Homo-oligomer: A and B are copies of this chain.
């Protein structure tokens, strides 16, 4: 952990600043004093027992700077207790991953001395975030100084202040030295090597590392498809026999790589200690509101919102809205086909070089419009899902992902489906596929990395200069660093990155048999994507809080659904090809029956394959069952122990009762 920066706390001792809390500049004194006291209070008094100090403006500080910026840290002991609290898994002396406990700390592999350096900075920051989020109101009826900012026993203080807008942001600080090393090994040297996933996980947490791991895996997995696709393009193999072979290979390949990813991600997550980690009880998300009632699970006072009302909002507003958007998307598609026809007409009338170029214009315009519609829809979906008022962040995310996926799938692929199955024009399909794919790749790279970078550069040109200096020089006062980082854009999570990969996967798999070059393009895109994503994480955005993750979650399902749809589309394309048709010159019925039979066979094989390949590699399964077995044995020993000395039973009744409930 960084030692270079430190602040003096109220007792005069120093602590390393980990997390920054920014309140609005006009926050009332009493609210600030109350919040700081609650953060500093001992845990038995309901506080978070953390260290927190106001940031003293540096030499270059101006009047305009917000004075209400606080840095938070904690003692090593506090952090170790916190690690036990959040259920962190660490490597044990025997090489297995076990839940860390303070009492047992010396049996963990990397624990030395007083435990300084045992936790990574990202873990410390995650622990502090967890402790801050779990700082709960006691008997305060409202935030002091703000009678309207209601509190009730058990309400998370930070979340209330966040949802009411007096808490601007809470973010973790970058660690310059480590970031420098990471950047260097990650994207600054251009050579063929795997990404430093362990370092990424060490700095950004498991969720981010799994994204980059998946991106890398996905790219590598596409290389065989790309290699097989290249000769098709080079030698112009219009031969559908060969295309059929290619499509068949693709379908099997898609299934296999998705299954293998599950195993790889289980291996990664086991090594990072997130695979067997128990999920903590989920608190309501900050934006959730309702009438105060009693939660049937926790028995705590908490806002409740009727499920029936939420269902009404979903089915009477959200679903019609999504359908309307889909209709709109279809309408835009039809306009595109009109434009396409119009361009073709002009070209046919008097073909010149310029009219030849004109032919590409509608596709490019359509690709741009698609991206814009996706962007607008994304905001609408977020607003609607927020308005549906889901209690949990995970439910919110699932509903959001579903809405966005359906629309993006439709928006991006509807025109291709139309061309393929209604117009049945394979040449146009190939051309559209290429234009859509290339345009959306270029747009994405611009939107994702260069636009935020450029915007930020414009916004604080002066500050930026200082930042550049920071990255090169070694020392910069803490206050300066905090201010610089506070002004950086906030990374909104891996959602958009996964969505992009999902759509690319669609371009590769859905119509792979008509455009084998798609895989090549996607591989090239992904290689640059690794660099631009790494760049944006290190240079453009605030450091995000690390999120423990054991897998890529709902995206695994989305990718699998896409590969099922791909089976259907590819079989249909194969059935429509003239070569296959020529095998059944007399009866079209027989052709269709064969294709449908083949498709059903493929689908059944897919499901059996998914079922047969174990999701967790054998050696990790053994390690997991060993832990489980040990805990069962320990339980048995406890039970027998009590039989031997029944006097003990009354002495320590609470722990036993508790043990069985776990």
Interface residues of A (CB under 8 A from B): 43-44, 81, 84-85, 87, 98-104, 280-281, 296-299, 568, 588-589, 592-593, 596, 600, 622, 625-632, 634-636, 638-640, 642-644, 649-650, 652-653, 655-662
Contacts and interface: CB of A to CB of B under 8 A. Distances in A.
18 contacts: A43-B640, A43-B643, A81-B643, A84-B660, A101-B660, A103-B642, A103-B657, A104-B660, A297-B629, A298-B626, A589-B589, A589-B592, A592-B596, A596-B596, A627-B661, A635-B662, A652-B655, A655-B655
Contacts of A43: 640, 643
B568 A630 contact: no
A647 B98 CA distance: 24
Nearest 4 Cβ contacts at the A-B interface: A99-B660, A631-B661, A662-B662, A634-B658
Contacts of A643: 43-44, 81
A98 B281 CA distance: 19
Contacts of A100: 660
Contacts of A600: 568
A639 B642 CA distance: 23
A632 B589 contact: no
Contacts of A644: 44
Contacts of A81: 639, 643
A616 to B, nearest CB: 14
B297 A626 contact: yes
Contact of A662 (B596, B622, B631): B631
A589 B297 CA distance: 57
Contacts of A629: 281, 297-298
A546 to B, nearest CB: 21
Contact of A653 (B44, B104, B658): B104
Given A99-B661, A655-B652, A639 B85 contact: yes
A656 B103 contact: yes
Contact of A84 (B84, B296, B639): B639
A661 B589 CA distance: 62
A642 B596 contact: no
B661 A638 contact: no
Nearest to A98: B661
> Looking at A98, A622, A640, which has the most chain B CB atoms within 10 Å of its CB?
A640
Contacts of A102: 639, 642, 649
Given A658-B631, A658-B659, A662-B631, A636 B296 contact: no
A622 B297 contact: yes
Contacts of A589: 588-589, 592
B659 A659 contact: yes
Contacts of A657: 101, 103-104
Contacts of A98: 660-661
A346 to B, nearest CB: 35
Nearest to A43: B640
> Looking at A628, A634, A656, A662, which has the most chain B CB atoms within 10 Å of its CB?
A662
Contact of A632 (B280, B639, B640, B656): B280
A661 B630 contact: yes
A299 B43 CA distance: 41
Contacts of A85: 636, 639
A194 B325 CA distance: 50
Nearest to A561: B607
Nearest to A627: B661
A656 B101 contact: yes
A365 B656 CA distance: 64
Given A102-B649, A296-B626, 13 more contacts: A43-B643, A85-B639, A104-B653, A280-B632, A281-B628, A568-B600, A588-B588, A592-B596, A631-B658, A634-B662, A635-B658, A652-B652, A662-B662
